[in-house]
């Protein structure tokens, strides 16, 4: 293939790895990849100075994969990351690039998950270990020889690791590794602490420095909206009411989320489809062709599934879930504003994700302005505008072709022309509310700066809101609590694929409780309630703060029912 004579193939990578990279949609290596890959392939130690969003994960993942001996079922490469989110992201990248290299096994090692399965995965032959320093030291205390076969070490975002206080843990890890290993260090900055590590633990390192630059397209109108995590689908549905789009791609993080959101959109009458890594290539191609020719208007996709997607009629990108890094954000919004056209990109941000928004703005060099979710009046105006536009082409000829029928129906029904016209409008709009009071009652969204029990949107009437809240409490009131127990809430629910047994197992494993200490567990669509002992609750919640269930943070909090 002509594609393989240049690009990544020219860097000396194995053809299977090149093929996997090409399948993700990347065609040409970035600057950090062009400079780093040959150095790492040659076995040199290296210091890479590059910001998040420059493609540095592939810069070390591809050459390390190239050097893995799949015949050896033992840890050969260790990648250290400052947070579990980054560790999971890096592990996923390795798995993606290794898809066409049989025999490669990757394990992510991080806090908040049971230690037993992690240690078993390492002992059972995972060649690539992606870990946070703290949890890895926990494993070293159980088995000090667990890293004895590692030949390649990568410190990703080393400056962040030091900011988080991992210096002592890093020293423990260095001592547990073979002295003959290859060491690669990536850091956005090189303070004296990083230089000190390099002097003590790297051998004659090569230096690569990449200047970050603005990557986004100025033709794209960018904005962010603050929402609560469990109200994203409602927020998307409301935005779609007022945004004038031709075609749209909505990005989410998980395969299940693509299915959930696509189903919600289809239920509302939108021509939508999911696109994720489980969808076969021929089906993926059909989805993209349908988007191009107008049979579909919305595609809900994960990042990997949307690599290389180029559909000129995409006018909008919705970042429903926050991307893991600025590079993904740049790639996502680049699906619109193609070939100099204008595009619009909206990013939903939960209160806990404000820091990532700041990182995106810093790396891209562009401010992502804040917008507000449209209120009921804006939704009503948009509905009437769409209805008017759909009727306008029909009015000129309708009286000549259907006027006689209209008179006959009026006579048969013994109604006024206004009553008949209203009935026909109701039928044509499928009963969609087209009055302000009804629209106000739809999709109540809680502002992110308001208490969760309140509705403070303009146009809400306090007395109606009070009756509605009281009715909701009566219909969905939790069962009475046993003495000595309190109820805690997590934003994980049935739509996240959560069952009561998942929550029970996570709390038992990480909280150290006896089974009879945990009371009822009620799993609802968008959240769950768990009864826990009141005595020592704060200590327990602290223990559980890093726990993940089904790949998502548990984040249990005391539930205030008043």
Reference 284, options 269, 271, 273; nearest CA is: 273
Sign of the four-CA dihedral 424, 427, 429, 432: positive
Write out pLDDT tens, residues 503-538: 887 888 777 777 778 888 888 878 889 999 888 888
Print the SS3 string covering 273-329: EEECCCCCHHHHHHHHHHHHHCCCCEEEECCHHHCCCCCCCEEEEEECCCCCCHHHH
What's CA 536's distance to the chain center, in Å? Answer: 33
Where do you find CATH 3.30.70.330 in the chain? Answer: 480-558
- What is the rounded CA–CA span in Å between residue 279 and residue 545? 34
Domain span(s) for CATH 3.40.50.300 in the chain = 2-209, 220-374
Contact of 182 with 40, CB cutoff 8 Å = yes
Window from 259-263, 286-290, 372-376 with minimum mean pLDDT: 372-376
- 530: helix, strand or coil: strand
What pLDDT, on the 0 to 100 scale, is given for residue 380? 81
Task: Write out the two tokens for 452.
Answer: 């969760």
* pLDDT number for residue 285: 83
Q: Is the pLDDT of residue 53 over 80?
A: no
Comparing 204 with 218, which gets the higher pLDDT? 204
Residue 26: per-residue pLDDT: 72
Mean pLDDT in residue range 273-291 = 86
Kindly indicate the confidence band of residue 466, based on its pLDDT and cuts at 50, 70 and 90.
very low
Q: Which of 291, 372, 358, 270 is nearest to 322 (CA)?
A: 358
In three-state secondary structure terms, 11 is: helix
* Model pLDDT, residue 496: 76
pLDDT at 552 over 60: yes
State mean pLDDT over 143-165: 89
Name the superfamily (CATH) of residues 2-209: P-loop containing nucleotide triphosphate hydrolases (3.40.50.300)
Q: Which residues contact 64 (CB under 8 A, 6 or more apart)?
A: 40, 77, 79, 128, 152, 154
| CA 327 to mean position of chain CA atoms | 13
Residue that wins the pLDDT comparison between 112 and 9:
9
pLDDT (average), residues 452-479:
37
Q: Output the six-digit token pair for 492.
A: 């994980």
Q: In the CATH hierarchy, which fold is given to the domain comprising 220-374? A: Rossmann fold (3.40.50)
- Ramachandran class of 157: left when φ > 0, alpha when ψ lies in -120 to 50, beta otherwise: left
pTM tops 0.75, yes or no: no
Q: Which of 12-16, 403-407, 456-460 has the lowest mean pLDDT?
A: 456-460
**Distance, CA of 325 to CA of 335 (rounded, Å):** 17
What per-residue string of b and e applies to 24-58 under the rule 16 or more CB within 10 Å gives b? bebeebbbbbbbbbbbbbeebbbbbbbbbbbbbbb
Question: pLDDT > 90: what percent of the chain?
Answer: 32
Task: Tell which wins on pLDDT, 268 or 182.
Answer: 182
Mean pLDDT of 209-225: 73
Q: 197 versus 399: which is more confidently predicted? A: 197
pLDDT at residue number 2:
35
Residues 208/36, Cβ–Cβ less than 8 Å: yes
Q: Topology of domain 480-558, per CATH?
A: Alpha-Beta Plaits (3.30.70)
Give the pLDDT confidence score for residue 420 in this predicted structure: 80
pLDDT confidence of residue 130:
96
Task: Please indicate whether residue 403 or residue 409 has the higher confidence score (pLDDT).
Answer: 409
Nearest by Cα to 293 from 246, 336, 237: 246
Higher pLDDT pick, 71 / 456: 71
Q: Comparing C-alpha atoms, which of 315, 314, 319, 443 is closest to residue 378?
A: 443
Across the beta sheet with 128-131, the strand order is: 106-109, 128-131, 77-80, 152-155, 182-187, 46-49, 206-209
Per-residue pLDDT band at 218 (split at 50, 70, 90) = low
Does 38 have pLDDT greater than 80?
yes
């Amino acid at each position: 293939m002509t594609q393989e004579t240049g690009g990544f193939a020219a860097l000396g990578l194995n053809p299977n790895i090149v093929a996997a990279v090409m399948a993700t949609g990347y065609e040409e290596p970035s600057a950090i990849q062009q400079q780093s890959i040959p150095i790492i392939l040659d076995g040199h130690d290296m210091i890479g100075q590059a910001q998040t969003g420059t493609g540095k994960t592939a810069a070390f993942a591809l050459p390390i994969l190239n050097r893995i001996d799949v015949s050896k079922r033992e840890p050969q490469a260790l990648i250290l990351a400052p947070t579990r989110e980054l560790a999971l992201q890096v592990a996923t990248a390795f798995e993606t690039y290794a898809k066409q290299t049989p025999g490669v096994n990757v394990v992510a090692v991080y806090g908040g998950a049971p230690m037993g399965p992690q240690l078993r995965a390492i002992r059972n032959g995972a060649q690539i270990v992606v870990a946070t320093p703290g949890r890895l030291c926990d494993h070293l205390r159980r088995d000090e020889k667990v890293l004895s076969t590692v030949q390649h070490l990568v410190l990703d975002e080393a400056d962040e690791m030091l900011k988080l206080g991992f210096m002592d843990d890093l020293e423990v890890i260095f001592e547990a590794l073979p002295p003959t290993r290859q060491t690669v260090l990536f850091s956005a900055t090189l303070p004296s602490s990083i230089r000190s590590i390099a002097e003590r633990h790297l051998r004659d390192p090569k230096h690569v420095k990449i200047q970050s630059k603005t990557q986004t397209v100025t033709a794209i109108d960018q904005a962010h909206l603050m929402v609560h995590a469990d109200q994203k689908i409602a927020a998307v549905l409301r935005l779609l009411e007022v945004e004038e789009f031709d075609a749209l791609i909505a990005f989410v993080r998980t395969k299940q989320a693509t299915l959930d959101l696509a189903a919600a959109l289809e239920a509302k009458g939108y021509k939508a489809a999911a696109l994720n890594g489980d969808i076969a290539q021929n089906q993926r191609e059909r989805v993209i062709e349908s988007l191009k020719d107008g049979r579909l208007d919305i595609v809900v996709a994960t990042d990997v599934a949307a690599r290389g997607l180029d559909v000129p009629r995409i006018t909008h990108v919705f970042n429903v879930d926050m991307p893991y890094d600025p590079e993904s954000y740049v790639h996502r919004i680049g699906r619109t504003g193609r070939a100099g056209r204008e595009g619009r990109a909206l990013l939903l941000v939960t209160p806990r994700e404000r820091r990532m928004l700041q990182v995106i703005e810093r790396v891209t060099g562009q401010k992502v302005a804040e917008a507000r979710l449209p209120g009921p009046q804006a939704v009503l105006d948009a509905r009437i505008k769409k209805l008017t536009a759909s009727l306008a082409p029909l009015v000129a000829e309708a009286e000549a072709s259907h006027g006689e029928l209209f008179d006959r129906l009026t006579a048969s029904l013994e109604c006024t022309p206004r009553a008949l016209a209203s009935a026909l409008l109701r039928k044509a709009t499928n009963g969609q509310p087209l009055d302000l009071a009804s629209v106000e009652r739809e999709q109540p969204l809680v502002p992110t700066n308001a208490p969760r029990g309140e509705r403070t949107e303009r146009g809400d009437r306090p007395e109606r809101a009070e009756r509605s809240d009281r009715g909701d409490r009566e219909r969905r009131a939790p069962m009475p609590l046993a003495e000595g127990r309190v109820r805690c809430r997590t934003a994980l629910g049935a739509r996240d694929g959560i069952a009561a047994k998942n929550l029970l197992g996570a709390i038992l494993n990480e909280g150290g409780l006896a089974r009879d200490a945990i009371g009822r567990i009620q799993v609802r669509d968008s959240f769950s309630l768990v009864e826990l002992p009141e005595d020592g609750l704060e200590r327990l919640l602290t223990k559980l703060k890093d726990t993940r269930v089904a790949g998502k943070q548990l984040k249990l909090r005391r539930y205030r029912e008043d």
